[in-house]
């Protein structure tokens, strides 16, 4: 099973949405998916340079929704062989917590750290291990922001989609000023996303590939990130995973965060 995260890899509900529904009704599908999250997955973050050279970082992901909080543990390993010399901050462990009605937190740990460090918000849009996927990308908190509107019902490729514009409120902590999501109108799963950074205003583009329905959930086995108008990209590739991992609080403990091979 290739597990899909909320909305990067967390399994989505398979019920459809009706034409003309409000943004809140349409977003009910990914929001409910948070409360069903319980998965583990392994794969790679692949940084593709402007000349096509690739650096592949092995990753593992765990996520579980506990009462009132989603916890995601991302572990990024250093590339092996010749790629190791080009590695940036890997290996690194990242614990992300999302409270639908509260402020998210992100903690990071590197080898030799005795305790994880809380990442300040101004660093949330830095690339994990120097890749195009930011720390905040693994939260996908935009579905819970107060500013939500359906701007269009449009075709994206062969798919009918609802284009939802999400904006954070004054108290929401985020490095993004706006997120636009093209959600498949039938399954409520993203096929394309654009995120605008607050500081420099460039647009980050995310395209979802290999959508599939298995075991009652929709998933994407690959997501490509690009910066609008620039060459190079990052691929998030999920090789395998389990959507029902039966994870416990111990799987996200401080000891897990600072334990490296």
Task: CATH number of the domain at 149, please.
Answer: 2.50.20.10
Question: For residue range 244-258, what is the model confidence (pLDDT) as tens digits?
Answer: 899 999 999 999 999
Alpha helices in the chain (DSSP H): 23-34, 254-257
Total of domains in the chain:
1
pLDDT in tens, 94-131: 999 998 777 899 999 999 999 999 999 999 999 999 89
Indicate whether 87 belongs to any domain: yes
In sign, the C-alpha dihedral spanning 192, 198, 173, 57 is: positive
Give residue 103's domain range. 23-257
Residue 199's pLDDT is: 81
pLDDT band at 21 (very low <50, low <70, confident <90, very high): low
Please check whether residue 200 lies inside any domain of the structure.
Answer: yes
For residue range 30-50, list pLDDT tens digits in order. 788 778 888 899 999 999 988
Record the pTM: 0.88
Q: Is residue 17 part of a domain?
A: no
Residue 200 predicted with pLDDT over 90: no
| Residue-averaged pLDDT of the chain | 86
Residue-wise burial string across 63-78, b where 16 or more C-beta atoms lie within 10 A, e elsewhere: bbbeeebbbbbbbbbb
Q: Is residue 228 part of a domain?
A: yes
More confident residue, 188 or 214: 188
Strands, E, within the chain: which ranges? 38-48, 54-66, 69-76, 92-98, 105-109, 117-118, 147-156, 159-167, 176-184, 190-197, 203-214, 217-227, 233-242
């Amino acid at each position: 099973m290739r597990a899909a995260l909320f909305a990067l890899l967390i399994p989505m509900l398979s019920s459809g949405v009706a034409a003309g529904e409000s943004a809140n009704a349409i977003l009910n599908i990914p929001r409910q998916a948070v409360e069903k999250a319980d998965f583990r997955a392994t794969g790679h973050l692949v940084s593709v340079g402007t000349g096509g050279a690739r650096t592949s970082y092995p990753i593992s992901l765990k996520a579980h929704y506990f009462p009132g909080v989603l916890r995601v543990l991302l572990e990024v390993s250093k590339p092996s062989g010749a790629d190791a010399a080009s590695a940036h901050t890997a290996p690194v462990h990242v614990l992300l917590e999302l409270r639908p009605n509260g402020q998210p937190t992100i903690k990071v740990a590197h080898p030799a750290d005795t305790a994880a460090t809380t990442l300040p918000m101004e660093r949330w849009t830095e690339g994990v291990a120097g890749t195009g996927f930011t720390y905040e990308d693994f939260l996908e908190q935009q579905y819970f922001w107060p500013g939500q509107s359906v701007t269009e019902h449009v075709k994206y490729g062969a798919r009918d989609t609802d284009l939802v514009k999400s904006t954070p409120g004054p108290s929401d902590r985020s490095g993004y000023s706006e997120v636009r999501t093209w959600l498949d109108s039938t399954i409520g799963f993203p096929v394309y996303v654009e995120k605008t950074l607050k500081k420099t205003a460039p647009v980050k583009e995310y395209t979802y590939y290999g959508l599939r329905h298995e075991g009652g959930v929709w998933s994407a086995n690959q997501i490509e990130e690009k910066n609008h108008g620039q060459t190079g990209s990052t691929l998030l590739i999920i090789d395998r995973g389990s959507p029902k991992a039966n994870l416990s609080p111990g799987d996200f403990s401080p000891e897990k965060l600072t334990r490296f091979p």
